[in-house]
Structure 1
Amino acid sequence: MIELKQLTKTYKTRNKPTTALANLNLSVQKGEIFGVIGHSGAGKSTLIRCINLLERPTSGEVWVGGVNLTSLGQKELQIQRRKISMIFQHFNLLSSSTVYDNIAFPLTLIRTPNSTIKAKVMELLSLVGLEEHKDKYPAQLSGGQKQRVGIARALASDPDVLLCDEATSALDPQTTDSILNLLLDINKRFKLTILLITHEMHVIQNICDRVAVIHDGDIVEQGPVAQVFLKPQHAVTREFIYRESSGQNAYNLILPNSNKGFTQRVKITFLGEQTYDSVLSQIVRETGVNFAILQGTISTIKQVPYGQLLVSFEGDPAGIDQTISKLRARNLDVEVMN
């Protein structure tokens, strides 16, 4: 659905040119929720604005729905942009217009009949749960309600792609969760392709199918969220993961000397229903190895449970090796830490 090919964006400044994107390649499949995460200044906002050509790339190509947007004239581009909607961190609502009129705004621009506008707006008000607020103005709404108006407005033109520019960054955690659940529902209901940028790992973890990590204007790591989250390869990715899980201290523990013989520290990753199974206790009973849990986490990645344990095995080296082999034979990821 979205294909970025060798995308480069350079800004001319007084002192020297600044490169925001450097030969970036990215592919987003139809109907998926794709997240791009990165620190401030990494190029996230430039990337998302290049997709609908609010920022025109210095070089490279932007393909959306099989159309090369970078090859179009202004009139053709305006037509294609109707298939791409966007929601923003600070909502960008019309302050002097009601909720109803804000949602109707994209339809009035293309001179849609009033009867059609009314039916569409009422449908969207119901979808985002704002029927009772249709005559209010943005100043009378909470942050979460404003973002729901922004989402409804973005859906008014029946887009194929929804771009989310830090859509939850200005919201409290509870409101963030409600907006993420709404985006999940919209994705499932309309098979809408959603690309979101964020600096918050829990946003990626909660709703995305795949994720790309952007750093210094390029993609340094990408893949299915579970793969990237549980086995991060790049230092920037590991920083996001460990900051989210607050596990960085646990993974650097210095174990005291043990009088029980050989010790081996391992990280065990569970995914899916195995997260709740007693696999570890079953296997150590078979091998006779003792263990101590140093740190543990159970959470979900887009409603799929996962768990991670940092464990110290104590006992005979051959028994510990057998324990690790048996865990791996049960399709668990086991990483030897020392």
Structure 2
Amino acid sequence: MIELKQLTKIYGSKKKMTTALSGLNLKVNKGEIFGVIGHSGAGKSTLIRCINLLERPSQGEVWVGGTDLTKLGKRELQQHRRKIGMIFQHFNLLSSATVYDNVAFPLTLTGTPKAQIQAKVNELLALVGLEEHRGKYPAQLSGGQKQRVGIARALASDPDVLLCDEATSALDPQTTDSILKLLLDINRKFNLTILLITHEMHVIQSICDRVAVIHEGGIVEEGPVTEVFLKPRHFVTREFINRDAAGSAGEEGLKLAASVPHPEWARLVKITFLGAKTYESVLSQVVRETGVNFAILQGTISTIKDVPYGKLTVSFEGDDEKVGRTLALLRERDLDVEVIG
């Protein structure tokens, strides 16, 4: 659905050039929710603005729905942009227009008949839960309501792709969760391809299928969210995970667990469970079979989108052979096992 090939964006003149994106490659499949996470200045806002050519790339190709947008003339590009919806961090609503008129605005620009506009706007206001606010102005709305107007407006032209530029970073946590749930519902109802950029790991963990980590204008890590979140390879990815509230708590718990006195022969192990195994008695079954003693020093259970996962820090006590067999049996049951001390 979206494919970026060797995407490069350079600002400035020859004397003072800034490279925002450098030979970036990325592919987003139809119907998935794809997240791009990065620190401020990493290039993520430039990336999303290049996809609909609000920023024209210095080099490279931008393919959306089988068409290279960089090869289109002005009129053709305008037509293709109608199939790319976009929502913004600061809403970008028309302050002097009502909720109804803000949602209707893209259809008004294209000369859509009034009856069709009315039917479409009514449908979208119901979808985002704003039927009772149709006559209000943006100043009368909460931040979450404003973003719902922005989402409805972005859907007015029946887009194939929805781009989200830090869509929840101006919202409180509770409102963020409600907006993320709405985006997930929209994705499932319309099979809409959603690409969102964020600096919040919680956003990625909540609704994304796959994620790419952007750093200094390039993609440094990419894959399914479960894989990237549970087995981060790049230091930037680990920073995001550790900074997240649950991740930080886990790191502190891990440090505390490592500091707890335990016998010299004990093995300190981190075990990661994914999916249904999170709630199965795998650990107790294995230690009964091998006869080792164990103590759970720290543990968490959470979800990545709809997939449960758990992390345990365990101290195993016993001779090397029995402990080694225990770890081998845990791995045979598709658990991720890492000896940390």
Change (3 A) 1:329 1:176: same
Equivalent position of 1:231 in the other structure: 231
Task: Could you tell me which runs of 5 or more consecutive residues in structure 2 were left unpaired when the two chains were aligned.
Answer: none
Tell me, in whole angstroms, the C-alpha distance in 1 between the residues paired with 2:185 and 2:243: 28
List aligned pairs for 1:267-282, cutoff 5 A.
267-282=270-285
Tell me, in whole angstroms, the C-alpha distance in 2 between the residues paired with 1:25 and 1:170: 29
Equivalent position of 2:309 in the other structure: 306
Matched letter for residue 262 of structure 2: S
Deviates more, 1:217-226 or 1:312-321: 312-321
Tell me, in whole angstroms, the C-alpha distance in 1 between the residues paired with 2:91 and 2:262: 57
Deviates more, 1:277-286 or 1:296-305: 277-286
1:10-41 deviations in Å (ceiling 9; x for gaps): 10169620000010000000000000000000
Tell me, in whole angstroms, the C-alpha distance in 2 between the residues paired with 1:109 and 1:336: 61
Secondary structure of the residue that 2:266 maps to in structure 1? strand
Matched letter for residue 208 of structure 1: C
- How far apart are 1:257 and its partner, in Å? 5.1
Task: Could you tell me which runs of 5 or more consecutive residues in structure 1 were left unpaired when the two chains were aligned.
Answer: none
Equivalent position of 2:332 in the other structure: 329
Deviates more, 1:304-313 or 1:182-191: 304-313
Q: Percent identity?
A: 75
Matched letter for residue 258 of structure 1: H
- How far apart are 1:296 and its partner, in Å? 1.2
Secondary structure of the residue that 1:262 maps to in structure 2? coil
Change (3 A) 1:2 1:212: same
Equivalent position of 1:48 in the other structure: 48
1:273-305 deviations in Å (ceiling 9; x for gaps): 111111112211221212222221110011111
Equivalent position of 2:79 in the other structure: 79
1:147-175 deviations in Å (ceiling 9; x for gaps): 00000000000000000000000000000
Deviates more, 1:246-255 or 1:124-133: 246-255
Equivalent position of 1:195 in the other structure: 195
Tell me, in whole angstroms, the C-alpha distance in 2 between the residues paired with 1:249 and 1:219: 29
Equivalent position of 2:100 in the other structure: 100
Tell me, in whole angstroms, the C-alpha distance in 2 between the residues paired with 1:311 and 1:14: 57
Deviates more, 1:290-299 or 1:24-33: 290-299
Length, aligned pairs only: 337
Tell me, in whole angstroms, the C-alpha distance in 2 between the residues paired with 1:222 and 1:166: 19
Equivalent position of 1:2 in the other structure: 2
TM-score, with structure 2 as normaliser: 0.96
Deviates more, 1:182-191 or 1:306-315: 306-315
- How far apart are 1:324 and its partner, in Å? 0.4
Matched letter for residue 328 of structure 1: R
Matched letter for residue 307 of structure 1: G
